[in-house]
Amino acid sequence: MHPDYANAVKVDSAEREHAYVASKTCRECGGALKETGEGLWQHDGKSYDVLHTTCRSCGVERDFTFDISSFYCNNIFDWGGRFG
Protein backbone atom coordinates (compact mmCIF):
# COMPACT_ATOMS: atom_id res chain seq x y z
CA MET A 1 0.00 0.00 0.00
CA HIS A 2 1.18 3.45 -0.86
CA PRO A 3 -0.46 6.34 1.00
CA ASP A 4 -0.95 9.55 -0.99
CA TYR A 5 -1.12 12.04 1.87
CA ALA A 6 -1.21 15.10 -0.39
CA ASN A 7 -4.39 13.91 -2.13
CA ALA A 8 -6.12 12.20 0.77
CA VAL A 9 -9.90 12.46 0.75
CA LYS A 10 -11.28 13.87 4.01
CA VAL A 11 -14.12 11.74 5.36
CA ASP A 12 -16.14 11.70 8.56
CA SER A 13 -16.82 7.95 8.81
CA ALA A 14 -15.66 4.56 7.58
CA GLU A 15 -18.95 4.24 5.70
CA ARG A 16 -18.03 7.28 3.61
CA GLU A 17 -14.70 5.67 2.71
CA HIS A 18 -16.40 2.55 1.40
CA ALA A 19 -19.07 4.55 -0.43
CA TYR A 20 -16.36 6.63 -2.11
CA VAL A 21 -14.51 3.53 -3.33
CA ALA A 22 -17.78 1.95 -4.49
CA SER A 23 -18.43 5.02 -6.65
CA LYS A 24 -15.12 4.61 -8.52
CA THR A 25 -14.18 2.36 -11.42
CA CYS A 26 -10.90 1.02 -12.79
CA ARG A 27 -8.81 3.64 -14.57
CA GLU A 28 -7.67 1.07 -17.12
CA CYS A 29 -10.84 -0.76 -18.20
CA GLY A 30 -13.73 0.85 -16.32
CA GLY A 31 -14.43 -2.33 -14.37
CA ALA A 32 -15.76 -2.56 -10.83
CA LEU A 33 -13.31 -2.38 -7.93
CA LYS A 34 -13.08 -4.85 -5.08
CA GLU A 35 -11.53 -3.86 -1.74
CA THR A 36 -8.65 -6.24 -1.07
CA GLY A 37 -6.80 -4.65 1.84
CA GLU A 38 -6.70 -1.87 4.37
CA GLY A 39 -4.01 -0.14 6.38
CA LEU A 40 -3.87 2.57 9.03
CA TRP A 41 -1.15 5.19 8.78
CA GLN A 42 -0.07 8.23 10.73
CA HIS A 43 1.68 11.19 9.13
CA ASP A 44 2.37 14.69 10.46
CA GLY A 45 0.00 14.18 13.40
CA LYS A 46 -2.94 13.01 11.29
CA SER A 47 -4.53 9.59 10.88
CA TYR A 48 -5.04 8.02 7.47
CA ASP A 49 -6.76 4.91 6.21
CA VAL A 50 -5.68 3.37 2.92
CA LEU A 51 -8.05 1.06 1.08
CA HIS A 52 -6.35 -1.20 -1.44
CA THR A 53 -8.50 -2.28 -4.39
CA THR A 54 -8.25 -4.66 -7.31
CA CYS A 55 -10.26 -4.40 -10.52
CA ARG A 56 -12.65 -7.34 -10.85
CA SER A 57 -12.17 -7.34 -14.63
CA CYS A 58 -8.50 -6.72 -15.40
CA GLY A 59 -6.77 -7.08 -12.02
CA VAL A 60 -5.22 -3.60 -11.89
CA GLU A 61 -4.56 -2.50 -8.31
CA ARG A 62 -5.21 0.96 -6.87
CA ASP A 63 -4.95 2.55 -3.43
CA PHE A 64 -7.29 5.19 -2.01
CA THR A 65 -6.03 7.35 0.87
CA PHE A 66 -8.47 8.89 3.35
CA ASP A 67 -7.84 11.48 6.05
CA ILE A 68 -9.73 10.02 9.01
CA SER A 69 -8.43 12.46 11.62
CA SER A 70 -11.90 13.92 12.22
CA PHE A 71 -13.21 10.69 13.73
CA TYR A 72 -10.29 8.36 14.41
CA CYS A 73 -8.56 8.63 17.78
CA ASN A 74 -4.81 9.05 17.35
CA ASN A 75 -4.19 7.97 20.94
CA ILE A 76 -5.39 4.37 20.52
CA PHE A 77 -1.99 3.27 19.24
CA ASP A 78 1.59 4.06 20.06
CA TRP A 79 2.25 4.88 16.40
CA GLY A 80 5.98 5.38 16.79
CA GLY A 81 6.53 2.16 18.71
CA ARG A 82 4.23 -0.09 16.72
CA PHE A 83 4.26 1.24 13.20
CA GLY A 84 7.48 3.28 13.06
Contact in structure between 52 and 66 (CB atoms under 8 Å): no
Pick the closest to residue 72 from 5, 19, 12, 28 (CA basis): 12
Could you tell me the pTM of the whole model?
0.83
Contact in structure between 54 and 61 (CB atoms under 8 Å): yes
Q: Is the pLDDT of residue 4 over 80?
A: yes
At 74, the pLDDT band (50, 70, 90 cuts) reads low
Q: Is the pLDDT of residue 79 over 90?
A: no
- Identify the pLDDT of residue 73: 67
Contact in structure between 14 and 46 (CB atoms under 8 Å): no
Phi, psi of 79 (to 5 degrees): -55, -45
pLDDT in tens, 36-67: 999 999 999 899 999 999 999 999 999 999 99
Helix (H, G, I), strand (E, B) or coil at 11: coil
Stretch (H or E) spanning 16: helix 14-22
